[in-house]
Amino acid sequence: MRRFTLTPYLVWMVLFTVVPMLLVLYYAFSVPTAGGTTWSLENFSRFFEPIYLRVFLRSLSLAVISTAICLLLGYPAAMIMAGSAFKRKNVVMLLFVVPMWMNFLLRTYAWLTILERSGFINSVLAFLNLPRLNILYTDKAVILGMVYNFLPFMVLPIYSVLSKIDKGVVEAAGDLGANPLQVFIKVILPLSMPGVVSGITMVFMPAMTTFVISRLLGGGQFTLIGNLIEQQFLVVGDWGFGSAISVVMIVVILLSMAVMSFFEGPERDVALW
């Protein structure tokens, strides 16, 4: 019976997960020559040229900044929603999740309408006789778009860990003499680390590799690593270099996950649902 249920998937998995990944590796580690292809690290050495390195660092810094903002905004939000400030917690969580059900592109597109020169914010500012705000097609707009799109990925895992913390543990800390601040620092924060870790991973990963947000809100000339990969495949046609950048991305993400899992502590099973 196992053979009957598992085999179709194994074939599928090899065909559509393993083989494509091997192809990426193949293209990344080879260059075309007159007679065919040969193994080479040339694609990787190109990545370390200053222009590309700058793109990489820029992607990294934007991803780090928006992850940090998501954490600073999201942790208190998750904590409040997991606490007793609202009677109907389910409704609050539902309201929080609803915007995520909108198509991702439409959500990002919405900010165009809000941020553009004659858009919503500037109309309001003009009405109040305040100077215009021109952040569209800048770093700030890209960060805003990332925070807007990825904030729920930070809040949900933290919320789910916080709401599972046994109330008795918090009471026990108080019982043992800890004041509310000490309870937070010594008990709640460390216990919520698994949620924080998975939140950070879930925000950092897409932020690092997005090419849509940067293309729409950062304008045409705005290049992040995701845009670089896209260009190699769809515009330049240099699949070898595009694959090499992809491999670097995977390595960066595996590294960051390894670093994060180091902080994760004993409890590991944190799923989004």
Within 153-182, the residues that bind another protein by CB under 8 A are: 153, 156, 166, 168-169, 171-179, 182
Establish if 230 lies at the interface with another protein (CB under 8 A): yes
> What is the rounded CA–CA span in Å between residue 93 and residue 156?
9
- How many helices (H) and strands (E) the chain has is answered by 14, 2
Within 78-137, the residues that bind another protein by CB under 8 A are: 80-81, 83, 85-86, 90, 92-114, 116, 118-120, 122-123, 126
How many alpha carbons fall within 13 Å on the CB side of residue 247? 22
Question: Which one among 62, 216, 244, 270 touches another protein, defined by CB under 8 A?
Answer: 216
Helix boundaries (H) for 39-166: 42-47, 50-82, 89-97, 104-115, 120-127, 139-164
Establish if 235 lies at the interface with another protein (CB under 8 A): no
Question: Which one among 70, 142, 154, 191 touches another protein, defined by CB under 8 A?
Answer: 191
Establish if 237 lies at the interface with another protein (CB under 8 A): no
Q: Among 107, 105, 139, 125, which residue's Cα sits nearest to residue 214?
A: 139
User: Least Å distance between CB 240 and another protein?
Assistant: 11
Within 36-65, the residues that bind another protein by CB under 8 A are: none
User: Least Å distance between CB 54 and another protein?
Assistant: 19
Q: Which is nearer to another protein, 33 or 90 (CB)?
A: 90
Residue pair 58/135 in contact (Cβ under 8 Å)? The answer is no
Binding piece for another protein, criterion CB under 8 A, among 35-43, 47-55, 133-141, 242-250: 242-250
> What is the rounded CA–CA span in Å between residue 169 and residue 187?
8
Q: Which is nearer to another protein, 41 or 85 (CB)?
A: 85
Tell me which DSSP letter residue 85 carries.
S
Size of the site for another protein (CB under 8 A): 116
Residue pair 165/196 in contact (Cβ under 8 Å)? The answer is no
